Structure 1
Amino acid sequence: MKANVMLSLVVVGGLSFTTYQSMGETTAKSTPKMLTAAESKAALKKWEASPDGIQFKNWEASPAGKKVHAGAAKIRKFVRTNANMQGIVTSLSLPDGSRLGYGLMVKIDREDYILSLGQVSKAELAQLKSLKVNDKIVIRSRFVSKAPKYAYPIVNGDYLEKDSKVVYKRVAKGGC
């Protein structure tokens, strides 16, 4: 009896150690290697020389690209500090052909922006459907992106409120 208990403990302990060891190996293997500054610079140069990079650079230099960059720069200080931005809903839908998930068109400081909220739950969607054109809203974001496909900067919404009531709040996924 004592031998069976001891054997069980050895087997369970061995399995636990093996599982712990394999988890550590998986984590170590799946962690991407950070590039050095020189490697990053070389990768950027390589991309800029590719057809996509050349097309993007041409778009940046065009009047449409300059307009989008100016709009993104206009709200950069708010985005960096995740500060409140006052906005007005101008459209309840995104431009045709958009692949940004759920979103709205908003005007912030007299400039038009795409407010992308990504994938939303049914409860969040119900609250977002209560918004109307010309509603005044408060937006917080930590990221603004630009793409040649869109004529407006894309504000990734983290928080949205109307009349001091939270309408949408992005839930952080993963992490420690």
Structure 2
Amino acid sequence: MKKTIYVLILSLVVISGFVFSFSSFANNSKAKTEIKKETKPVKRTLSSAEKKSMLEQRKKWEASPDGIKFNDWKNSPEGKKVQASYEKIKNEINAFDKMEAIVTSVTFQFPTTNPLSPKWLVVKINCEDYMMQFIPEDFEKFKNLNVNDKIIIKSRSAGFSNNHPYLILSSDYIEHNDKVLFERDLSKNDGC
């Protein structure tokens, strides 16, 4: 009888241990899930006053000499070509997917460039040229890249300017021969 009670108590302790461990594991997993949910950036919607203010600022800028010059460029064949190049890769940018690119220039500079100016990497993706800008220190990571090298790029955004011949891709991730050459640390600049 004592042996039976001892076995029952021991069984109860073991089962309680399993239940406690599982419960602790489930709560810990739930906590990790909640933490992950909390760390995702929250997109804030603009109030109608903020939207109105932004629209007024945009209209004011569009009426300025710079805004007129930009809109003229945007409607020109060169501007339309740059905008069309964005349409070709916008899904990959929105999904932050990998894009295969061919290096076309590691020495691109504007005519008035000084040595301390940002450096440009020019690449071809799906028969279109794109630019990526780097500070000189970061550009050192590409010193072994050559024209016609295949690289993998991931970019979070793109922009165009009447002062640049190609669409400008954000420089977020670059890989060559399965080796990461560059990955932007977003924690250093508030996610920008």
TM over 0.5: yes
Find the counterpart in structure 2 of residue 25 from structure 1.
none
Q: Which runs of 4+ in 1 moved over 6 A?
A: none
Find the counterpart in structure 2 of residue 104 from structure 1.
121
SS of the residue corresponding to residue 36 of structure 1 reads: helix
Find the counterpart in structure 2 of residue 171 from structure 1.
185
Shift of 1:76: 1.0
1:89 aligns with 2:140: no
Structure 2: unaligned runs, 5 residues or longer:
1-46
* Cα gap change, 1:143 to 1:126, in 2 (>3 Å): same
Q: Tell me: higher relative CO, structure 1 or 2? Use CA pairs within 8 A at least 6 residues apart.
A: 1
Shift of 1:120: 4.9
Contact 2:109 2:120 in 1 (8 A): no
Instruction: Tell me the distance in 1 between the aligned counterparts of 2:184 and 2:148.
Output: 23
Shift of 1:151: 1.4
Instruction: Tell me the distance in 2 between the aligned counterparts of 1:50 and 1:125.
Output: 35
* Cα gap change, 1:164 to 1:82, in 2 (>3 Å): same
Instruction: Tell me the distance in 2 between the aligned counterparts of 1:126 and 1:57.
Output: 36
Instruction: Tell me the distance in 2 between the aligned counterparts of 1:49 and 1:92.
Output: 37
1:63 aligns with 2:81: no
1:114 aligns with 2:126: no
Instruction: Tell me the distance in 2 between the aligned counterparts of 1:96 and 1:49.
Output: 27
Q: TM-score, normalised to structure 1's length?
A: 0.72
Contact 1:94 1:114 in 2 (8 A): no
Instruction: Tell me the distance in 2 between the aligned counterparts of 1:55 and 1:98.
Output: 20
Aligned length: 140
SS of the residue corresponding to residue 100 of structure 2 reads: strand
The amino acid of 2:183's aligned partner reads K
Structure 1: unaligned runs, 5 residues or longer:
1-33
Instruction: Tell me the distance in 2 between the aligned counterparts of 1:66 and 1:95.
Output: 23
Per-residue CA deviation, residues 20-62 of structure 1 (Å, 9 max, x unaligned), is: xxxxxxxxxxxxxx86111111111111111111111100010
* Cα gap change, 1:98 to 1:113, in 2 (>3 Å): farther
Shift of 1:81: 1.3
Identify the match of residue 52 of structure 2 among 30, 38, 43.
38
